[in-house]
Amino acid sequence: MRVFAAVLLSMSLMASPMFASDAKEAGTEDTPAAAGSAPATPDKPEAVKPSATKAADSAIESEVQDLRSLVEEQRAELESQRAALKAEQLKMESLEEKLAATPSQPAGTPAVTPEAISTASPSEAPAESPATPIGAAPRTLSASLLPAQDDKPGPLYFKIGAAEFYPLGFMDAMNVFRSTQLGTIGTSFGSTAFNNTIPGRLTEDRFSIQNSRIGLRTHAKFGAADVTGYLEADFLGYQPANANDTSNSNSLRMRLYWVNVKYSKWEVLAGQSWSFLVPNRNGLSALPGDLFYTQDVDTNYQLGLTWTRNASVRFIAHPTSNIAALAGKHS
């Protein structure tokens, strides 16, 4: 019995170090679990890495650059389309002028088909563009869309070479009643009859178109010289005693007939014109519209107006636009 107890004691002494080492290993293995069972503290957010930020910025910049390139391409295409449209409009206008200048073409027939007008080919137009490609198909103009030839007002002059001719004139029907007979539609202020003069006491009533006028004004330039010609006539000329036996044979009478030449600051007029005694409206011009000889219907105008129309030659110098010096001779 004692021997059995001694053996058991020795075996326990030998096994105790082994149990101690096993317990130590078991403790080390249980430590992570214990640590894992403890409440975990929240992790701090990781900082964004600089490399990731740079990559995102470069991607955004690339997209913006692509958008800019696309906008620039669209702008260039619009500019080319505008230029092409402008060229087409100019050519269409020139074609309309040519068609309008052709009177033989009927108004209802289509005009000549113009060639395709475009500075850019249809392939250059963007497919996504809503605008119609310019020059994609030839266009035709109908003469019915153009103004008719009769709608254009005729010119007030005609040309022979470089000279322009302006016809002028009017018809004047006037009636004159006087208490004293004077003989014509023009009042003779120096021959009014006295009451005891025969036939001075007779009244008169005259209806005539003798004061009607016809004329022609011409204008041309020969180098630096400016030439103007003027012709005016009425029907108050001399009549023989038997002129009105069967009809009113009113005679043609020359009123004005002159030529005026302007060169630089010099001016020369030759022919029959109003004298310088007649007041002027505009400088020293000889045109009737630039003179003032009243608005009276009487062919001798009025008492107190000094005037004459006779042959003359005038020389006028214009040192400034407001000063003129003249010299001349009247018949």
Q: What DSSP string runs through 136-196? A: SS----BGGGSPPGGGSPPPS-EEETTEEEEEEEE---EEEEESS--SSSS--TT-PPPTT
132 and 184 in a single domain? The answer is no
Q: Is residue 123 part of a domain?
A: yes
> Is the domain of 184 the same as that of 134?
no
List the structure tokens of 198. Answer: 């025969």
Compute the mean pLDDT over every residue in the chain, rounded to the nearest whole number.
Answer: 77
User: Is the peptide bond between 199 and the residue preceding it cis, with omega within 30 degrees of 0?
Assistant: yes
pLDDT digit string (tens) for 117-147?
444 444 444 444 444 444 444 444 444 444 4
Q: Residue 205 pLDDT more than 70?
A: yes
What pLDDT score was predicted for residue 209? 92
Q: Is residue 11 part of a domain?
A: no
Quick one: 214 and 139 in the same domain? no
Tell whether 162 and 204 lie within a shared domain.
no
Domain of residue 139 covers 80-146
Tally of domains in the chain = 3
Q: Could you tell me if residue 105 is inside a domain?
A: yes
> Same structural domain for residues 181 and 217?
no
Indicate if the pLDDT at residue 231 is higher than 70.
Answer: yes
Asked if residue 47 belongs to a domain, the reply is no
Residue 1 has pLDDT above 60, yes or no: no
Residue 184 and residue 287 in one domain: no
Are residues 219 and 326 located together in one domain of the fold? yes
CA 111 and chain centroid, separation: 26
Q: Which long-range contacts (CB under 8 A, 24 or more apart) does 149-153 make?
A: 149/100, 149/103
Region 108-118: what's the mean pLDDT?
46
Label residue 234 by pLDDT band (50, 70, 90). very high
pLDDT category of residue 185 using cuts at 50, 70 and 90: confident
Whether residues 298 and 168 fall in one domain: yes
198 and 121 together in one domain: no
CA 325, distance to chain mean position in Å, is 41
167 lies in some domain: yes
| Stated pTM of the model | 0.51
